[in-house]
Amino acid sequence: MTETFQFKLLATDGKARRGEVSMPRGTIRTPAFMPVGTVGTVKAMYLDQVRELGADIILGNTYHLMLRPGAERVARLGGLHNFIRWDRPILTDSGGFQVMSLSSLRKLNEQGVTFKSHVDGALYHMSPERSIEIQGLLDSDIQMQLDECVALPAEPNEIERAMEMSLRWAERCKAAFGDQPGKAMFGIVQGGDIPKLRERSALALRDLDLKGYAVGGLAVGEPQEVMLDMLDVTCPALPAEKPRYLMGVGTPDDILKSVAHGIDMFDCVMPTRSGRHGLAFTRYGRINLRNARHAEDTRPLDEQSTCPATRDYSRAYLHHLIRSNESLGGMLLSWNNLAYYQELMAGIRKAIEEGRYADFMAETQENWKRGDL
Ligand SMILES: CNc1nc2cc3c(=O)[nH]c(N)nc3c(CCO)c2[nH]1
pTM of the model: 0.98
CA distance 115 to 233: 33
Ligand 1: distance of its center to the CA of 335 in Å? 23
Ligand 1: distance of its center to the CA of 58 in Å? 15
Q: What is the largest CA-CA distance in the chain?
A: 60
**pLDDT tens string 146-192:** 999 999 999 999 999 999 999 999 999 999 999 999 999 999 999 99
Cα 123 off chain centre by: 27
Q: Determine which one of 13, 56, 93, 141 is catalytic.
A: 93
pLDDT, mean of residues 137-154: 97
Among 39, 93, 190, 265, residue to substitute to test ligand 1 (most atoms within 8 Å of Cβ): 93
pLDDT, mean of residues 222-237: 98
Cα 62 off chain centre by: 14
Alpha carbon distances (Å) from 143 to 25, 290, 316: 14, 38, 43
Among 149, 188, 245, 270, residue to substitute to test ligand 1 (most atoms within 8 Å of Cβ): 149
CA distance 76 to 137: 9
- pLDDT exceeds 70 at position 373: no
- pLDDT band at 132; cut points 50, 70, 90: very high
Write down the pLDDT at residue 106.
78
Among 91, 94, 97, 190, residue to substitute to test ligand 1 (most atoms within 8 Å of Cβ): 97
**pLDDT tens string 62-106:** 999 999 999 999 999 999 999 999 999 999 999 989 998 888 767
pLDDT, mean of residues 237-263: 98
Name the closest-CA residue to atom 11, ligand 1: 97
CA distance 311 to 177: 46
- Ligand 1 binding pocket, CB closer than 6 Å: 93-94, 96-97, 144, 147, 149, 188, 216-217, 219-220, 247-248, 267
Write down the pLDDT at residue 370.
86
- pLDDT exceeds 90 at position 371: no
Asked if residues 30 and 259 have their Cβ atoms less than 8 Å apart, the reply is: no
Name the closest-CA residue to atom 18, ligand 1: 248
Write down the pLDDT at residue 234.
98
Please confirm, yes or no, whether 267 is among the known catalytic residues: yes
Enter the ipTM.
Answer: 1.00
Q: What is the chain's Cα-based Rg? A: 20
Ligand 1: distance of its center to the CA of 93 in Å? 8
pLDDT, mean of residues 272-281: 98
Asked if residues 364 and 23 have their Cβ atoms less than 8 Å apart, the reply is: no
